[in-house]
C-alpha cells in the first residue's frame, strides 16, 4: 500500500566535467554580499580545486572569507568558530567545498548564525530551527548525499556525541558535481562512499511502512547500479562513467526519491553507526558495513517479504527452498560484496574492539538519540540495540 508523501528537493544540480568553473556565476546569482568558503583538511587545496574556486569567485567579483580544517565526523568546535567568523564578517552565504563532513559543518554554521542561542540545542532536541544561511556545494566525494538532503550530522568534541538534525532550511541552493573531482579519493573512501549510498536506499527499502512499485523499481535500479559500479571503481578508479553513476546515485539515494510512498524509514543501522562514529571516530560508510549484517540477521524475519525481494531483485541470488533461505542468501551476498570492495563486516574488521561496558554505553546513547526506539523493519529498543552491537563484534 502506498502512502501520501511530500517530496521537496529544491537543489539545483549542475553535473559533469568542468562544472566547478561555474561556481562564481552560481554564487553571484544568489545575490549575496559575502561568502564563507568552507573546506576540509587538505585534499581540496592539494588537488588545486580550491585555487580554481577562489579564481572563479574573484572573477565574479564576490567577496569571501575562508575557513578550512573540517575533519570527518565534523566537530562542533569548528562550527562555533565558523559562526563567530560569519557574524564578524557579515557573511550571508556559505560555499561548502568537500564531502558530507564539510557540507554538514556548513549547514550547522548556517543554523548557528540565524538561530539565537547555542546551535547544539538543535542536535540535542531542545529547540527547532527557524532558518539557516543559504548553502551552496562543490561536491568532492560521492557518499553522504548531504548535497541534496535535509539532514546535518555533527559531533560534539567532549564525549564524542554524534547527533543529526534535519530540516528543509538547510537544503543546498545548488550542488556542483563533477565526477572527475572524486578520482583523487583514496580507494577506501570511494568504497565507504558506495556503502553509504547503498545504505541510504536500503534504510528506506527495508520497511513495514508500505511501498510503491515505482519507488521500489527506482530503489532496486539504484542499488544494482551502485553494486556494479563500485566494483568497476575498485579495479579502475579513473573510470569516469562509473564515477558519474556513483555520484548521481549518491544524491538520489538521500534526497528521498527512494522513500516516496513509504511511511516509515528504518535508519536503525545509521543510528547504530552514529554512536560508533562518535565514540571511535571511524569512517561512516565503513561503520555501516560493520554493523549491517548483524542488524539484518536480527530483523529479517520481521520484514521477510522485503528481504526476499532484495535478495532476488538486487543481489540476484538463486531462490532458496523458502523465503527465509532466500533472504539469508541475500544478506550473505551483500556481506560478500562489502568484503570484495574492502569494507568490514564486523567491528573487529573495522579495527575497533569495544569492551562490553562500551557496548552498553553505545546502546544506551543510541536509544537516547532515537527517542527510545528506532526502525521499521523491526522496531528496536535499547536491549535489541545492545544485542546487535554484541553480534557485530
Ligand atoms: O578533509 P579532506 O582533506 O578533504 O579529506 C576528506 C576526508 O578525509 C577526503 N576527501 C573528500 N574528497 C576528496 C577527499 N580526498 C581526496 N580527494 C577528494 N576529492 O575524504 C574523507 C572523507 O570525507 P567526508 O566529507 O568525511 O566523507 P562523507 O561525504 O562520507 O561524509 C561523512 C559525514 O557525513 C555524515 C556522516 O555521518 C559523516 O559525519 N552523514 C551526513 C548525512 C547528511 N547530512 O545527509 C547523511 C549520512 O548518512 C551521514 O550520516
Ligand atoms: Zn549515511
Q: What's the 60 CA to ligand 2 centre distance in angstroms? A: 34
Radius of gyration of the chain (CA): 20
Q: How far is CA 119 from CA 89, 156, 177, in A?
A: 19, 11, 29
Q: What is the pLDDT of residues 351-385, one digit of tens each?
A: 999 999 999 999 999 999 999 999 999 999 999 99
Q: How far is CA 19 from CA 49, 93, 121, 343, in A?
A: 12, 20, 37, 31
pLDDT tens-digit map of 143-192: 999 999 999 999 999 999 999 999 999 999 999 999 999 999 999 999 99
* pLDDT more than 70, % of the chain: 100
Mean pLDDT of 288-304: 98
Q: Is 185 in the pocket of ligand 1 (CB under 6 A)?
A: yes
Between CA 151 and CA 235 the distance in angstroms is 32
Q: Is the CB of 146 under 6 A from ligand 1?
A: yes
The stretch 9-37 carries a mean pLDDT of: 97
State how far Cα 151 lies from the chain centre: 9
pLDDT over threshold 90, residue 206: yes
Instruction: Decide: 269 in ligand 1 pocket, CB within 6 A.
Output: no
pTM of the model: 0.98
The confidence score (pLDDT) of residue 187 equals: 98
Query: For residue 373, what is its C-alpha cell?
Result: 526506539
| Cα 317 to averaged position of ligand 1 atoms, centre (Å) | 32
The ligand 1 atom nearest the CA atom of 254? 45
Q: Based on the number of CB atoms within 10 Å of its own CB, is 351 exposed (0-12), middle (13-18) or buried (19 or more)?
A: exposed
| Average pLDDT of span 249-270 | 97
Q: Is the pLDDT reported for residue 24 higher than 90?
A: yes
Three-state DSSP class for residue 39: strand
CB proximity list for 379: less than 8 A, separation 6 or greater: 373
Q: Nearest CA to 135 among 165, 102, 164, 90?
A: 102
Q: Is the CB of 23 under 6 A from ligand 1?
A: no
Pocket perturbation via mutation, ligand 1, pick of 168, 183, 189 by most ligand atoms within 8 A of CB: 189
Region at 281 (left for phi over 0; alpha for psi -120 to 50; beta for the rest) = left
Neighbours of 118 (CB within 10 A): 15
The secondary structure of residue 374, as a DSSP letter, is B
Q: Is the CB of 48 under 6 A from ligand 1?
A: no
pLDDT score of 1 more than 90: no
Residue 55 pLDDT > 90, yes or no?
Answer: yes
Q: For all residues of the chain together, what is the average pLDDT?
A: 97
State the closest ligand 1 atom to the C-alpha of 200, by its place in the atom list counted from 1: 48
Amino acid at each position: 500500500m502506498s502512502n501520501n508523501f511530500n517530496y521537496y528537493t529544491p537543489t539545483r544540480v549542475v553535473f559533469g566535467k568542468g562544472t566547478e568553473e561555474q561556481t562564481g556565476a552560481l554564487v553571484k546569482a544568489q545575490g549575496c554580499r559575502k561568502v564563507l568558503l568552507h573546506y576540509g583538511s587538505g585534499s581540496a587545496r592539494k588537488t588545486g580545486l580550491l585555487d580554481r574556486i577562489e579564481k572563479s569567485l574573484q572573477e565574479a567579483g564576490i567577496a569571501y572569507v575562508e575557513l578550512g580544517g573540517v575533519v570527518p565526523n565534523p566537530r562542533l568546535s569548528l562550527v562555533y568558530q565558523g559562526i563567530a567568523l560569519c557574524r564578524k564578517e557579515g557573511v550571508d552565504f556559505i560555499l561548502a567545498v568537500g564531502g558530507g563532513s564539510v557540507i554538514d559543518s556548513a549547514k550547522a554554521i548556517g543554523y548557528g548564525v540565524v538561530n539565537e542561542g547555542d546551535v547544539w540545542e538543535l542536535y540535542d532536541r531542545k529547540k527547532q530551527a527557524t532558518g539557516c544561511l543559504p548553502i551552496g556545494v562543490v561536491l568532492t566525494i560521492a557518499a553522504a548525499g548531504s548535497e541534496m538532503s535535509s539532514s546535518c550530522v555533527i559531533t560534539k568534541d567532549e564525549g564524542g556525541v554524534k547527533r543529526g538534525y534535519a530540516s528543509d532550511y538547510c537544503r543546498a541552493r545548488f550542488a556542483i558535481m563533477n565526477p572527475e573531482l572524486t578520482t583523487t579519493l583514496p580507494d577506501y573512501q570511494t568504497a565507504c562512499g558506495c556503502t553509504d549510498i547503498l545504505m541510504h536506499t536500503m534504510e528506506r527499502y527495508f520497511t513495514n511502512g508500505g511501498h510503491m512499485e515505482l519507488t521500489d523499481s527506482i530503489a532496486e535500479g539504484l542499488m544494482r547500479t551502485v553494486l556494479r559500479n563500485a566494483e568497476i571503481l575498485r579495479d579502475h578508479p579513473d573510470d569516469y562513467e562509473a564515477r558519474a553513476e556513483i555520484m548521481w546515485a549518491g544524491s538520489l539515494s538521500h534526497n528521498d526519491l527512494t522513500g516516496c510512498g513509504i511511511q516509515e524509514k528504518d535508519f536503525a543501522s545509521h543510528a547504530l553507526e552514529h554512536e560508533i562514529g562518535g565514540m571511535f571516530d571511524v569512517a561512516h560508510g565503513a561503520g555501516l558495513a560493520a554493523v549491517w549484517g548483524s542488524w539484518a540477521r536480527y530483523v529479517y524475519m520481521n520484514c521477510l517479504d522485503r528481504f526476499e525481494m532484495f535478495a532476488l531483485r538486487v543481489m540476484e541470488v538463486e531462490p532458496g527452498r523458502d523465503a527465509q533461505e532466500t533472504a539469508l542468501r541475500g544478506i550473505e551476498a551483500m556481506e560478500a560484496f562489502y568484503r570484495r570492495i574492502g569494507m568490514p563486516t564486523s567491528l573487529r574488521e573495522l579495527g575497533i574492539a569495544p569492551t562490553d561496558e562500551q557496548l552498553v554505553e553505545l546502546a544506551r546513547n543510541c536509544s537516547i538519540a532515537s527517542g527510545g526506539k528506532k526502525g521499521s523493519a523491526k522496531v528496536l529498543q535499547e536491549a535489541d540495540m545492545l544485542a546487535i552491537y554484541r553480534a557485530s563484534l
